[in-house]
Amino acid sequence: MKRVKCIIAYDGTDFQGYQSQPGKRTVQGEIEAVLKKIHKGTDVPIYASGRTDAKVHAQGQVIHFDTNLPLDEQRWVYALNSLLPEDISVRHAQLVDSDFHARFSSKGKEYRYRVDRRKIKNPFLRNYAYHFTYPINMEEMRKAMAYITGKHDFTSFCSAKTEVIDKVRQVTLFEVEEQEEELVFRIAGNGFLYNMVRIIIGTVLEVGAGKRKADEIPKIIQAKDRRLAGKTVPGHGLYLWEVFY
């Protein structure tokens, strides 16, 4: 058996998330259906670096699967893309050692979040950027972002549905770029809790809009209370950008 690692991109608009769910269209379900076809009816499970929610996009999601087919790396790219739907693309395929695991070998991830600041919403961005029209104090928001960077217990910044016990994570990069009438947030770290990125973005946007102060952030972190942080921004502005190994 050979192990194949793939970097995949997908438009999350019409998916109910990455993970397979009965009766729902998912990224995992679509890829596994194609692999089953390529393997003449044999089920081939795939394993991902992590799950993404409904509407969330990916530029650099990583999966792996095991196969007994003698295809080389480039032929895997062609074979998969010829059968996958238009909203999923395999960007790269690589034969890897049998001890590689898309999830457990990961050292960290980068996410990006797009915010559309236009006064009049752009219908062509409705599935790809969060429309947020409040005036933003960039200096104050960046102060809040600096407090987020580092190693913290992020209990206040994750969903109550989070199942893991240890909620300590390290954010190694958190920055925002102004691109014409958009903001693009970049956040990277050694791991992220359920809804953590979307809650962090929602909270710092509230700071930027003057709804709370930047110096509240350390208190919110220390409190370990989800009720003190900001709203969870919508999934359609979020992109899993890169997974690090």
Intra-chain end-to-end CA distance of the chain, in Å: 22
Distance CA 171, CA 161 (A): 21
Amino acid letter, 58: A
Burial class (CB in 10 A: 0-12, 13-18, 19+), 92: middle
Distance CA 32, CA 44 (A): 6
User: Dihedral angle at the C-alpha atoms of 146, 234, 104, 87, nearest 10 degrees?
Assistant: -130
User: Dihedral angle at the C-alpha atoms of 116, 117, 122, 123, nearest 10 degrees?
Assistant: 50
Give the contacts of 37 (CB within 8 A, at least 6 positions apart). 83
Closest among 144, 192, 185 to 168, alpha carbons compared: 192
Catalytic residues: 53
